[in-house]
Amino acid sequence: MSNRIGWIGLGRMGEAMAKKLIKAGHDVNVWNRTASKAAPLAEAGATIVASKQDLASCQAVFTMVSTTDDLKEVLFAEGGLVAGASKPRMVIDSSSISQEGSAEIRERLEAMGVGYLCAPVSGNAKVAKAGKLLLVASGPKALYEEVEAMLQAMARRVMWVGEGELARVWKIAHNTMFGVVIQNLCEITVMAEKAGIPRHVFLESINDSVVGSMYTRYKTPMLTNLTFDQVTFTPKLLLKDMDLGLGAAKAYGVPMPAAAATRESIARMVGRGYEDIDFAVLLKEMAADSGLELKSENVKMSDGLES
Ligand SMILES: NC(=O)c1ccc[n+]([C@@H]2O[C@H](COP(=O)([O-])OP(=O)(O)OC[C@H]3O[C@@H](n4cnc5c(N)ncnc54)[C@H](OP(=O)(O)O)[C@@H]3O)[C@@H](O)[C@H]2O)c1
């Protein structure tokens, strides 16, 4: 078994995270379904492979794809990473997927002798580029300790929360709050603007209050200047996460009224056809519901993530 590291999935997050591993000096080999997206990685020093099975001789293969079904496909479908005779020693997945799907994937991988760690993250691609992700892992502790240094190369902090799929539950809870906060932030911003407070003034005051956070701060420039084309995370991915949150709430018998209302609002936004746009476009929807026509305030401001 070589020290080669494999990477599958070079979307917004995968590209930024894989680059951190390369920068830390690892021998990173990458595959992406849309081959053209791998080119920037080659420039950064990665080796591009032609098929997923070319990564089967790697010590560890990281995956960062969209949904549970996508992860199953890249692993087990024809031509999948573990569908051939040779297998990697372990798979480390950072996609935001369901707990049940993750447990099924663990069972299948472990039955083949392949170790499996869940390693979801908090932060968008810009946060990843700035080296400020939080990475929360679960699975066998010994496996986590073996790869902890690699995980640290991609994040400002890494944590192990327990065995099995517990990191999935953590991520689902995190992203449920992520949805609820943007919903509420958009609602109150529209209310404040309709009452007469300029948007950037209101948002800056919230950022500096007890309820401000890294999240409200880095969404502020986009909400002020309406730059929703600078996509960090799409409405469709957020809807997937709200559904995962409500699915977990049902499984554990926990009522989540705020998350349920937010889910419907996000679903309506997705239904209105928003595709390749940032989820913060929700502000526009909330404004339209209130008869408010939004205009960019064209204020130069920092999201606190510039390096
Ligand atoms: N963006 C964020 O702020 C953020 C933050 C934390 C976690 N996440 C989670 O991280 C994951 C990736 O997010 P992202 O924003 O990077 O998404 P993205 O930009 O849409 O990238 C998705 C990646 O998955 C690949 N993929 C999807 N389905 C596939 C399939 N069936 N077979 C092979 N490859 C497939 C895509 O390949 P192609 O290039 O060929 O389409 C692409 O490389 C999601 O689970 C998301 O919920 C996102």
pLDDT of residue 49: 97
Report CA Rg, the chain.
20
Residue 178: band (very low, low, confident or very high) from pLDDT cuts 50, 70, 90 = very high
Residues lining ligand 1, CB < 6 A? 9-14, 32-34, 37, 64-66, 70, 73-74, 95-96, 121, 124-125, 232-233, 237
For the CA of 121, the nearest atom of ligand 1: 6
Distance 285 CA to ligand 1 centre (A): 25
Kindly report the protein residue whose alpha carbon is nearest to atom 33 of ligand 1: 33
User: 16-20, 122-126, 138-142 — which is least confidently predicted?
Assistant: 122-126
* Residues 234-262: tens digit of each pLDDT: 999 999 999 999 999 999 999 999 999 99
Judge whether residue 1 has pLDDT over 80: no
Judge whether residue 148 has pLDDT over 60: yes
Distance 12 CA to ligand 1 centre (A): 7
Residue 200: band (very low, low, confident or very high) from pLDDT cuts 50, 70, 90 = very high
Question: In this prediction, what percent of the chain has a pLDDT beyond 70?
Answer: 99
Residue 306: band (very low, low, confident or very high) from pLDDT cuts 50, 70, 90 = low
Q: Which domains does the chain have, with CATH numbers?
A: 5-164 (3.40.50.720), 172-289 (1.10.1040.10)
Instruction: Please give the sequence-ordered ranges of beta strands (E in DSSP) within the chain, or none if there are none.
Output: 5-8, 28-31, 47-48, 60-63, 90-93, 115-118, 121-122, 134-138, 157-162
Instruction: Report which of 231, 242, 254, 227 is spatially closest to residue 183, judged by C-alpha positions.
Output: 242
Kindly report the protein residue whose alpha carbon is nearest to atom 42 of ligand 1: 11
Among 51, 72, 136, 237, residue to substitute to test ligand 1 (most atoms within 8 Å of Cβ):
237
What's the average model confidence in pLDDT over 70-94?
A: 97
Among 7, 10, 13, 97, residue to substitute to test ligand 1 (most atoms within 8 Å of Cβ):
13
Q: Say how far apart CA 117 and CA 139 lie, in whole Å.
A: 5
* Residues 10-38: tens digit of each pLDDT: 999 999 999 999 999 999 999 999 999 99
Residue 216 structure tokens = 């409200």
Residue 177: band (very low, low, confident or very high) from pLDDT cuts 50, 70, 90 = very high
Q: pTM of this prediction?
A: 0.91
The residue assigned the tokens 């040779």 is 86
Distance 205 CA to ligand 1 centre (A): 34
Among 8, 33, 66, 95, residue to substitute to test ligand 1 (most atoms within 8 Å of Cβ):
66
pLDDT of residue 9: 98
Long-range Cβ pairs for the range 242-249 (8 Å, 24+): 242/175, 242/176, 242/179, 242/266, 242/267, 244/96, 244/97, 244/98, 244/172, 244/175, 244/176, 245/172, 245/173, 245/175, 245/176, 245/179, 246/176, 247/98, 248/99, 248/169, 248/172, 248/173
Distance 164 CA to ligand 1 centre (A): 23
Judge whether residue 186 has pLDDT over 90: yes
